[in-house]
Structure 1
Amino acid sequence: MTDGNVDMSRRAFLGAAAGGAAVAATSGTAAAQTEEPDFGGHLDGIDGGYEDLRGQSEVTIEVGAEGNGGALAFSPAGVWIDTGTTVTWEWTGEGGGHNVVASEGASLDSGAAVSEAGSTYEYTFEEGDAGITKYHCVPHEALGMLGAVAVGGDVPTVSTGGGGGPSRPQVPDSAKSLGVATTFAMIATLGLAYFFMKYGGDYDVQD
């Protein structure tokens, strides 16, 4: 057994250990996906963002928030709430007259468009409203002033990578558990590498 052989074996072991740790870390990242409501393309390409607001009994959405080329957005444009939640749409006073009218789902209708700051419209989403509700501002629908509300747990969803933007998707418990397991695996791998370096191992003896 020579020092050269020992060094090469140790380097090979450490390389394999590092590779395994990298794979574990990558697997943890790839698995950290979240579920968001599938709004059927209703909110594609529009401003306002999405928020998972389940667990809250009252939710506020701005009407006339900055976006879509002016103060022409609902913010957040997409929300996920529990049944029994009261949603209040509150006007910012920007972007002209706005209203809230449903095109699908719950019977949202705030009436004629208004522009006064502080104006509000409330709606409580009950069991009969479970699912996806899509709505818009009548005067600015063509400019992208759209919104959607997902109600309850039985809604169609899509997987996301937890990307940036104004949305704040929640990390499932399974992903958190996987992250803990991945961290433990990496620590264990590095511990074995240290033990191998310090106390040596079995090597092929060469003449």
Structure 2
Amino acid sequence: MSYDHYIVICKPLHYATLLGSRACAQMAAAAWGSGFLRAVLHTANTFSLPLCQGYTLDQFFCEIPKILKLSCSESFLRVVGLIIVSVCLSFGCFVFIVVSYVEIFRALLRIPSEHGRHKAFSTCLPHLAFISLFISRGVFAYLKPPSLFSPSLDLMIAVLYLGLPPAANPLIYSMRNQELKDAVRKLIGYMLLHH
């Protein structure tokens, strides 16, 4: 999505040549391939663990850190390996998105008309909001300090981590719709007046 925005804003006349069906297929293959690699590594790691603390998780889905807690073997090297692979894949995507948006914002600041800048920013901001929401939840879910451990907090974070993006996605991407913006403003105004 960030590359698409980059091409549309920074190189609009080259859109058809830079973002043709071959480029789209390559980007999809890279995304699916990296996701598949990560899933295979996690699955192979999980099934190779000897479990000796029962088979009950305090989650409604099998999350890797929870499964590692059930293992009776020393899993430090496994955890470090999985973290390194996950960070490398995630960091590569993050750098690609940041570089794309730095170039986009540089191009947007060169647009002479205020209306043109506003229109271009309104195209990019929903994607940035969604990415920020996704990254912040992931960072909090996986990098929170052990002192904040609580089964109920972990369950709430897991529900937010899985449920918030699909629920927020239509709202975030429809914020360019003026009728929806007006309805949200009325709702917020109504809530502020009656509380």
Q: TM class by shorter-chain length?
A: under 0.3
> Which entry has the higher C-alpha Rg, 1 or 2?
1
Give the TM-score normalised by structure 1. Answer: 0.26
Q: Which has the higher strand share?
A: 1
Give the TM-score normalised by structure 2. Answer: 0.27
Q: Which has the higher helix share?
A: 2
